[in-house]
Structure 1
Amino acid sequence: MTVVVVGAGPVGVTAALLLARRGLDVLVLDRHAGAHPLPRAVHLDDESLRVLQAAGVADAFAAVSRPMAGLRLLDGGGRTLAEFPRGAGEHGWPQGSMFSQPDLERVLREALAAEPRARLRGGVEVLHVEHPAGPVRLTVRDRVTGVEAQLVADAVLGCDGAHSTVRRQIGARMRDLGPGERWLVVDLVADAPLPVWAGVQQVCDAVRPATFMPVAGARYRAEFRLHDGEAVADLDLAGLLGRFGAAGCTVVRSAEYRYAAQVADRWRQGRVLLCGDAAHLTPPFIGQGLGLGLRDVHQLAWKLAAVLDGADEALLDTHQAERAPHARSLVRLAVLLGRLMTGGGERAALVRRAVLTGVRRVPRLAAFAASSRTPPLRPGPLVRRPRLAPSPVGGLLPQPPVDGPGRLDDVLGSGWAALTCGGPVPADWPGPVVRADGLGSPELVRWLRGRSVLVRPDRIVAAAVRR
Structure 2
Amino acid sequence: MSSQPVVPPVVVVGAGPVGATAALLLARRGLPVLLLDRRPHPSGLPRAVHLDDEALRALADAGVVEEFLAVSRPMAGLRLLDARHRTLAEFRRTGGAGRHGWPQASMFHQPDLERLLRAAIDRTPGIEVCGGEEIVGLADADRSVTVTVVERATGRRRDVVASAVLGCDGANSTVRGLIGARMRDLGRPDRWLVVDLRTRVPLPVWPGVHQVCDPDRAATFMPVSGDRYRFETRLRTGEDAADLTGPALTELLAPFGAQDAEVVRAAEYVHRAQVTDRWRRGRVLVAGDAAHLTPPFVGQGLALGLRDVHQLAWKVAAVVTGAAGEDLLDTHGAERGPHARALVRLAALVGRLMTGGGAGAVPVRRAALTAVARVPALAAYATESRTPPLRPGPLVDRRGRAGRRLAGTLVPRARVRAGGQECRIDDVLGSGTAVVASAGPGCVAVTTGGRRTEVEDVDGALTCWLREAGARFAVVRPDRVVRAAG
1:335 matches 2:375: no
Aligned match of 1:446: 464
**Relative to structure 2, which stretch is displaced further, 38-47 or 382-391?**
382-391
Could you say what the CA RMSD is over the residues aligned between the two structures, in angstroms? 1.5
Q: In 1, are the aligned partners of 2:339 and 2:388 still within 8 Å (CA)?
A: yes
1:174 matches 2:220: no
1:458 matches 2:471: no
Q: In 1, are the aligned partners of 2:241 and 2:266 still within 8 Å (CA)?
A: no
Distance 2:398 2:367 in 1: 37
5+ long unaligned stretches in structure 2: 1-6, 441-446
SS of match in other structure, 1:406? strand
5+ long unaligned stretches in structure 1: 424-428
Q: In 2, are the aligned partners of 1:7 and 1:159 still within 8 Å (CA)?
A: yes
Aligned match of 1:260: 272
Q: In 1, are the aligned partners of 2:391 and 2:408 still within 8 Å (CA)?
A: yes
SS of match in other structure, 2:299? coil
Distance 1:49 1:436 in 2: 26
Aligned match of 1:408: 425
Matches within 5 A, 1:123-272: 123-235=132-244, 236-272=248-284
Distance 1:113 1:422 in 2: 42
Amino acid at match of 1:288: Q
Q: In 2, are the aligned partners of 1:421 and 1:436 still within 8 Å (CA)?
A: no
Distance 1:66 1:430 in 2: 35
1:305 matches 2:317: yes
SS of match in other structure, 2:60? helix
Q: In 2, are the aligned partners of 1:419 and 1:436 still within 8 Å (CA)?
A: no
Distance change >3 Å, CA 242–CA 432, structure 1 → 2: farther
Amino acid at match of 1:194: L
Distance 1:118 1:406 in 2: 29
Distance 2:432 2:51 in 1: 25
1:109 matches 2:123: no
1:361 matches 2:374: yes
**Relative to structure 2, which stretch is displaced further, 240-249 or 286-295?**
240-249
Aligned match of 1:426: none
1:59 matches 2:76: no
Q: In 1, are the aligned partners of 2:80 and 2:88 still within 8 Å (CA)?
A: yes
Deviation at 1:400, TM superposition (A): 2.2
Which deviations, in whole Å up to 9, do the C-alpha atoms of 1:130-171 show, x marking residues without a partner?
Answer: 123321011111112221111110100000000000000000
TM-score with structure 1 setting the length = 0.96
Amino acid at match of 1:22: R
SS of match in other structure, 1:353? helix
SS of match in other structure, 1:339? helix
Amino acid at match of 2:250: A
User: Which one of 339, 359, 365 corresponds to residue 352 of structure 1?
Assistant: 365
Distance 2:260 2:452 in 1: 56
Deviation at 1:406, TM superposition (A): 3.0
1:421 matches 2:428: no
1:7 matches 2:14: yes
Distance 2:108 2:253 in 1: 20
Q: In 2, are the aligned partners of 1:417 and 1:432 still within 8 Å (CA)?
A: no
Deviation at 1:349, TM superposition (A): 1.3
Distance change >3 Å, CA 207–CA 130, structure 1 → 2: same
User: Which one of 368, 373, 379 corresponds to residue 386 of structure 2?
Assistant: 373
Deviation at 1:38, TM superposition (A): 2.1
Distance 1:305 1:132 in 2: 18
Q: In 1, are the aligned partners of 2:172 and 2:290 still within 8 Å (CA)?
A: yes
Deviation at 1:433, TM superposition (A): 6.3
Q: In 1, are the aligned partners of 2:218 and 2:234 still within 8 Å (CA)?
A: yes
Deviation at 1:463, TM superposition (A): 0.5
Deviation at 1:346, TM superposition (A): 2.2
Which deviations, in whole Å up to 9, do the C-alpha atoms of 1:177-227 show, x marking residues without a partner?
Answer: 000000000000001000111011111100100000000000000000001
Deviation at 1:241, TM superposition (A): 1.1
How many equivalent residue pairs?
A: 460
Distance 2:450 2:254 in 1: 58
Amino acid at match of 1:349: V
**Relative to structure 2, which stretch is displaced further, 126-135 or 225-234?**
126-135
Matches within 5 A, 1:83-94: 83-86=90-93, 87=95, 88-94=97-103
Distance 1:363 1:85 in 2: 11
Distance 1:304 1:430 in 2: 20
Q: Percent identity?
A: 63
Aligned match of 1:320: 333
Amino acid at match of 1:67: P
TM-score with structure 2 setting the length = 0.92
**Relative to structure 2, which stretch is displaced further, 323-332 or 303-312?**
303-312
Distance 1:222 1:433 in 2: 52
Deviation at 1:379, TM superposition (A): 0.5
